C-alpha cells in the first residue's frame, strides 16, 4: 500500500475534528509540526493504539488535544520523566513527546539532558518558537541575544541555548533540526527519529507570529515562514561555509545519529542477570 | 500444602519494600534521600529479580513523573522520599491526583524545614501530605507505628490506590523507618490487593473520567485499544479540556475530593484501647503512638482513666470516631512531633465536646511516654 498523503484522510485519521479549530493563532507554525509528526507515524505504519503522545505545557504542548493518540499531559517541563516511565514500563509502546522550547530547555532542562544521557527510546519534538508563547511572549532559553520579549523590553541580555548542541553534548543519539518552511524534510526527520533506537530529539523551528514576530517586527506569517530560508541552512550547505558565514544561522538536518545501547534493552539484560539467566 | 508465614527481624524501611513487593508493586522510581534510602536500595535489588523495573531519576520531580507514566501502562508503581524531596513531590502529586493515577508515595519524615536534620525524626509533613499540592483534591494518607505496619500498611496503601484511582501516601517517620522489630510476613499468595477496574464498554464508549457510584472511573492501560487522554487540565468525563466551562470544572473537583471523603467509612481505620471509661484520651499516630500507648498504661496504673486512640488512616480524618471519643471524654491530648498539625482536625472533629490539648515537640527528639504522662497529669490537675 502506498503512503497515504491525502489531507482529509490524514486529518480524519489522526485528529479530532470535534476539538477544532485549534487554539493556535492564525499563521502559527505549530499545526505544521503536529501534522508532520502524524505523517511520519503514517509512513511508519504504526498501530495508533500503541503510540503514546506525552506533552508538557504551552502552546506547543496542546498538539495532543487534537491528535487521536492516547495522551498524557503532564505539568510544565515534566513531559520527559513521565515519557520515560511509560517507555520503561512498556517498551513495546512508541512514545512521542511534544514540548515547547521553554518547556524543554528551561523548566524541563534537567530532565532533557538526563533523557539524552539515559538514551531511552523516546522521540522528543521541541516546537522552537524562541519565546514563551502561551504566557504572552516572555524571554526564554532560546531567545536570541538582543531580541525583544515582554520580559526583555530592552532586548535580551542573555545568550541562548542551541538545543541541538545541548542534546548532543548530553549524549543524545539522534539529534535533528527541522523548520516548518521545509516541511517535507521535517516529516522525514521525525520519521527517522521515531525509527531510531534510542533517545531522539528534533528541534522544530516554528514561527510565533503573534508575540515574538510582532515584538521583533518580523513581518507577516508568510514572511516569517520564508525567513527560515535565510536564518537556517542545511547540513550539506553548511559544510562548505566558513564560521563567519554560519554566524547566527541554525543548521538543519540530521546532526547526530549513532548507534549506542538503548536503556530499556540494557535493563532487560539486568533483569536476565538478576534472574540468573544472564550471560 | 499450606505455605508458612515468614518471621524475621527487619528494619521498617525494609519491611516497606517487602510489603510493596508482596502487594504486586513492580515499578519503582526514586531519588536518594535519607532516611528513606533503604527502600530504593532493596527495590533496585529485588525488582529485576521479579521482572520488575527500578529507575533512579534525576530528581524527585522526575521520579514521581516516571512512576506516574509507569502506572498509566498498568503496572503498580511506587516512589519513596523524605523531607526536601517530599516538597519536590508536590507538583507531580497534584498531577497524579488530577489524572487519577494509582500509585504509592512513601515519605519517611525527617526534621524540617528545608534540609533540617536528615537522620532525625519528625511529624512535620502531616498537613503537607494532605494539602501540599495546589488546588483541591482528595488523597489518602496512612500512618504506620511499627515495622509490622510498614509492611501491612504499604500493602494497604497499594490496595487503596488501586481501588480509588488515587495517589496514596504512607507517612512514616525516621523512627519507624529505621528501627528493627519482629515482622511476620504471610506468604505472598495469601496477600490480596485490588487492581484498578478496567473498562468493559467498547473503546468508543469509554469515559475515563465518569465516576461510578463511588466516584471512581475505570482505567484503561496505555497501549490498549481504549485510547484516552490523561489530562492535567480541568476536564470533562470524556477527558477533553473544560476550557471555560466552570460547571465541568466544578464537578471534577468535587468528584476528585468526594471519591475519598464520601467513601470514608471503607477507608477509615483506627485503633482504640481503654476508651470505655476514659476521661482523658490520647490521640496519637506514627512513632508517637508508641510512647502514647505507654503513657496511657502508666496513667492507668496511677488510677487515671486514660484512653488511647490511634488513627491509622490519617486522611481522610476519622471525625465520626473522634466525635464519639469527644462525647465521652473530658479532654483529648494530641502529642505530635510538630508545632501542632493533626490537633486541628481533631479539634474540629471534637467540636467543642471535649477540650483538645496539643502536646508539641520539635527538633528531632521523639516524645517519650513520660512527657505524655506528665501532660496527662497536668490536664487531670487543671481538671
Ligand atoms: C510550573 C509552571 N510554571 C509556569 C507555568 C506557566 N506557563 C505555561 S506555558 C509556559 C511557557 C510556555 O513556553 P514554551 O514552553 O516555550 O512553549 P510555547 O507556549 O512557546 O509553545 C509557562 C511559563 C506553568 N504552567 N507551570
pLDDT exceeds cutoff 60 at A254: yes
Report percent pLDDT > 70 for chain B: 99
Mean pLDDT, residues A82-101: 98
Across the range A161-167, mean pLDDT stands at 97
Q: Which residues of A touch B (CB under 8 A)?
A: 18-19, 48-50, 52, 54, 57, 64-65, 68-75, 78, 80-90, 92-93, 110-111, 114, 267, 270-271, 273-275
Put simply, the answer to whether A275 touches B66 (Cβ < 8 Å) is: no
Place A278 in a pLDDT band, splitting at 50, 70 and 90: low
Q: Which residues contact B9 (CB under 8 A, 6 or more apart)?
A: B180, B181, B182, B183
Looking at the structure, tell me whether residues B33 and B132 fall in a common domain.
Answer: yes
Q: Last residue of a domain, which of B190, B222, B250?
A: B190
Which CATH number do you get for residue B276?
3.40.50.920
> By CA distance, what is B97's nearest residue in A?
A74
Same domain assignment for residues B55 and B166: yes
DSSP H helices in chain B:
12-22, 37-49, 60-72, 83-99, 126-131, 147-164, 174-178, 246-261, 264-267, 286-301, 319-328, 343-350, 369-382
Could you report the per-residue pLDDT of B55-95, keeping only the tens digit for each? 999 999 999 999 999 999 999 999 999 999 999 999 999 99
Question: Is B285 part of a structural domain of the chain?
Answer: yes
Average confidence score pLDDT of chain A: 97
Instruction: Report the residue of chain A nearest B48, measured CA to CA.
Output: A271
- Which of A178, A143, A174 is CA-nearest to residue A158? A143
Question: How far, in Å, CA of A138 to CA of A151, rounded?
Answer: 5
Position B242 scores a pLDDT of 81
Is residue B146 located within the same domain as residue B294? no
Phi/psi at B28 (5° precision): -135, 130
Q: Which residues contact A85 (CB under 8 A, 6 or more apart)?
A: B27, B29, B55, B65, B66, B67, B68, B69, B70, B71, B72, B73, B77
Name the residue among A1, A56, A7, A63 with its Cα closest to residue A190. A63
Residue A20 exposed, middle or buried by CB count within 10 Å (0-12, 13-18, 19+): exposed
Residue A74 pLDDT class (50, 70, 90 cuts)? very high
Give the chain A residue whose CA is nearest to the CA of B228.
A70
> Do B186 and B277 reside in the same domain of the chain?
no
CB B75 within 8 Å of CB B195: no
Q: Which of B142, B160, B190 is the last residue of a domain?
A: B190
Of B190, B220, B238, the last residue of a domain is B190
Share of chain A above pLDDT 90, in %: 97
Interface test with A, best of B42, B46, B55, B69 (most A CBs within 10 A): B69
User: b/e for B311-347, b at 16 or more Cβ within 10 A?
Assistant: bbbbbbbbbebbebbbeebbbbbbbbbbeebbbebbb
Residue A3 has what pLDDT?
Answer: 75
Mean pLDDT, chain B, rounded, equals: 97
Domain A28-274 grouped into CATH 3.40.50.970: yes
Q: Is residue B170 part of a domain?
A: yes
Average pLDDT over residues A262-274: 98
- Domain of B42 in residue numbering reads as 6-190
Residues B174 and B63 in one domain: yes
Digit-coded pLDDT (tens) for B119-162 = 999 999 999 999 999 999 999 999 999 999 999 999 999 999 99
CA gap B3, B25 in Å, rounded? 21
* Selected residue of A64, A65, A71, A72 to mutate for chain B interface (largest B Cβ count, 10 A): A72
Cell representation of residue A251: 543548521
Co-location of B73 and B170 in the same domain = yes
**Residue B55 near chain A (CB below 8 Å):** yes
Q: Is the pLDDT of residue A133 over 80?
A: yes
Residue A135 CB–ligand 1 contact under 6 Å: yes
The verdict on B70 touching A (C-beta cutoff 8 Å) is yes
Tell whether B303 and B183 lie within a shared domain.
no
Examine residue B213 and state whether it is found in any structural domain, yes or no. Answer: no
Q: How distant is the Cα of A114 from the closest Cα of chain B, in angstroms?
A: 7
User: How many independent structural domains does chain B possess?
Assistant: 2
Q: Supply the pLDDT for residue B2.
A: 59
Among candidate residues A135, A170, A160, A176, the one with its CA nearest the CA of residue A33? A176
Rounded mean pLDDT of B46-51?
A: 98
* pTM: predicted TM-score of the whole model, two decimal places: 0.98
CB contact under 8 A, B58 and A64: no
Does any CB of chain A come closer than 8 Å to the CB of residue B135?
A: no
Q: Residue A73: is its pLDDT beyond 60?
A: yes
Q: Name beta bridge partners: A43.
A: none
Residue B306 is assigned to a structural domain of this protein? yes
pLDDT at residue B241, rounded to an integer: 85
Q: Give the residue, by CA position, lying nearest to ligand 1 atom 3.
A: A76
Residues B163 and B281 in one domain: no
- CB of B59 within 8 Å of a chain A CB? The answer is yes
Same domain for B185 and B280, yes or no, is no
pLDDT exceeds cutoff 90 at A2? no
Nearest by Cα to A260 from A130, A121, A55, A104: A121
Residue B182 lies in a domain: yes
The rounded distance, in Å, linking the Cα atoms of B68 and B95 is: 9
- Structural domain contains residue B49: yes
Residues B163 and B289 in one domain: no
Cell numbers found for residue A28: 502559527
* Residue B352 pLDDT: 97
> Domain check: are B178 and B308 in the same one?
no
- Write down the domain spans for chain A: 28-274
CATH number at residue B150: 3.40.50.970
Whether B200 is covered by a domain: the verdict is no
In the reported structure, the alpha carbon of residue A150 is separated from the centroid of ligand 1 by a whole-number distance in angstroms of 14
Amino acid at each position: 500500500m502506498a503512503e497515504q498523503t491525502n489531507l482529509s484522510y490524514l486529518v480524519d485519521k489522526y485528529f479530532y475534528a470535534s476539538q477544532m479549530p485549534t487554539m493556535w493563532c492564525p499563521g502559527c507554525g505549530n499545526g505544521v509540526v503536529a501534522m508532520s509528526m502524524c505523517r511520519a507515524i503514517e509512513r511508519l505504519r504504526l498501530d495508533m493504539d500503541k503510540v503514546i503522545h506525552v506533552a508538557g505545557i504551552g502552546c506547543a504542548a496542546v498538539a495532543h488535544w487534537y491528535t487521536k493518540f492516547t495522551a498524557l499531559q503532564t505539568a510544565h517541563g515534566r513531559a520527559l520523566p513521565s515519557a520515560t516511565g511509560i517507555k520503561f514500563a512498556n517498551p513495546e509502546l512508541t512514545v512521542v513527546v511534544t514540548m515547547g522550547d521553554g518547556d524543554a530547555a528551561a523548566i524541563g532542562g534537567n530532565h532533557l539532558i538526563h533523557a539524552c544521557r539515559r538514551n531511552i527510546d523516546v522521540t522528543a519534538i521541541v516546537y522552537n518558537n524562541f519565546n514563551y508563547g502561551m504566557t504572552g511572549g516572555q524571554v526564554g532559553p532560546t531567545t536570541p541575544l538582543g531580541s525583544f520579549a515582554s520580559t526583555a523590553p530592552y532586548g535580551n541580555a542573555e545568550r541562548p541555548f542551541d538545543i541541538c548542541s545541548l542534546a548532543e553534548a548530553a549524549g543524545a543519539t539522534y539529534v535533528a533540526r527541522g523548520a516548518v518552511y521545509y516541511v517535507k524534510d521535517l516529516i522525514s526527520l521525525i520519521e527517522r527519529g521515531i525509527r531510531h533506537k534510542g533517545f531522539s530529539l528534533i528541534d522544530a523551528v516554528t514561527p510565533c507570529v503573534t508575540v515574538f514576530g510582532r515584538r521583533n517586527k518580523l513581518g507577516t506569517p508568510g514572511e516569517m515562514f520564508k525567513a527560515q530560508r535565510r536564518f537556517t541552512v542545511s547540513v550539506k550547505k553548511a559544510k562548505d561555509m566558513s564560521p563567519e558565514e554560519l554566524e547566527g544561522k541554525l543548521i538543519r538536518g540530521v546532526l547526530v545519529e549513532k548507534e549506542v545501547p538503548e536503556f530499556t534493552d540494557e535493563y532487560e539484560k539486568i533483569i536476565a542477570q538478576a534472574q540468573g539467566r544472564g550471560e | 500444602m499450606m505455605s508458612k508465614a515468614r518471621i524475621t527481624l527487619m528494619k521498617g524501611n525494609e519491611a516497606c519494600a517487602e510489603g510493596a513487593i508482596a502487594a504486586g508493586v513492580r515499578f519503582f522510581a526514586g531519588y536518594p534521600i535519607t532516611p528513606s534510602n533503604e527502600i530504593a536500595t532493596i527495590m533496585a535489588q529485588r525488582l529485576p529479580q521479579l521482572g520488575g523495573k527500578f529507575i533512579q531519576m534525576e530528581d524527585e520531580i522526575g521520579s514521581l513523573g516516571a512512576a506516574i507514566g509507569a502506572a498509566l501502562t498498568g503496572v503498580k508503581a511506587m516512589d519513596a522520599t523524605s523531607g526536601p524531596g517530599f516538597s519536590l513531590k508536590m507538583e507531580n502529586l497534584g498531577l497524579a491526583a488530577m489524572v487519577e493515577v494509582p500509585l504509592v508515595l512513601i515519605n519517611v519524615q525527617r526534621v524540617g524545614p528545608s534540609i533540617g536534620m536528615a537522620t532525625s525524626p519528625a511529624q512535620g509533613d502531616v498537613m503537607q501530605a494532605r494539602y501540599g499540592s495546589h488546588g483541591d483534591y482528595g488523597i489518602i494518607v496512612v500512618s504506620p507505628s511499627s515495622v509490622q505496619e510498614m509492611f501491612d500498611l504499604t500493602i494497604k496503601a497499594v490496595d487503596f490506590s488501586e481501588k480509588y484511582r488515587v495517589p496514596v501516601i504512607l507517612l512514616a517517620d525516621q523512627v519507624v523507618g529505621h528501627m528493627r522489630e519482629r515482622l511476620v510476613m504471610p506468604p505472598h499468595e495469601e496477600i490480596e490487593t485490588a487492581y484498578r477496574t478496567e473498562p468493559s464498554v467498547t473503546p468508543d464508549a469509554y469515559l475515563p473520567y465518569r465516576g461510578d457510584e463511588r466516584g471512581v472511573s475505570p482505567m484503561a492501560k496505555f497501549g490498549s485499544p481504549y485510547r484516552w487522554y490523561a489530562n492535567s487540565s480541568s476536564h470533562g468525563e470524556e477527558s477533553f479540556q473544560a476550557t471555560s466551562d466552570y460547571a465541568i470544572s466544578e464537578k471534577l473537583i468535587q468528584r476528585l475530593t468526594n471519591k475519598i471523603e464520601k467513601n470514608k467509612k471503607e477507608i477509615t481505620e483506627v485503633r482504640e484501647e481503654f476508651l470505655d471509661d476514659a476521661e482523658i484520651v490520647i490521640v496519637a499516630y506514627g512513632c508517637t503512638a508508641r510512647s502514647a500507648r505507654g503513657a496511657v498504661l502508666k496513667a492507668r496504673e496511677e488510677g487515671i482513666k486514660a484512653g488511647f486512640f490511634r488513627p491509622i488512616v490519617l486522611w481522610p480524618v476519622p471525625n465520626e470516631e473522634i466525635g464519639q471519643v469527644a462525647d465521652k471524654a473530658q479532654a483529648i491530648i494530641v502529642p505530635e512531633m510538630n508545632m501542632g498539625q493533626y490537633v486541628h482536625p481533631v479539634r474540629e472533629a471534637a467540636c467543642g465536646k471535649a477540650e483538645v490539648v496539643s502536646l508539641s515537640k520539635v527538633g528531632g527528639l521523639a516524645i517519650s511516654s513520660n512527657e505524655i504522662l506528665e501532660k496527662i497529669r497536668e490536664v487531670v490537675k487543671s481538671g
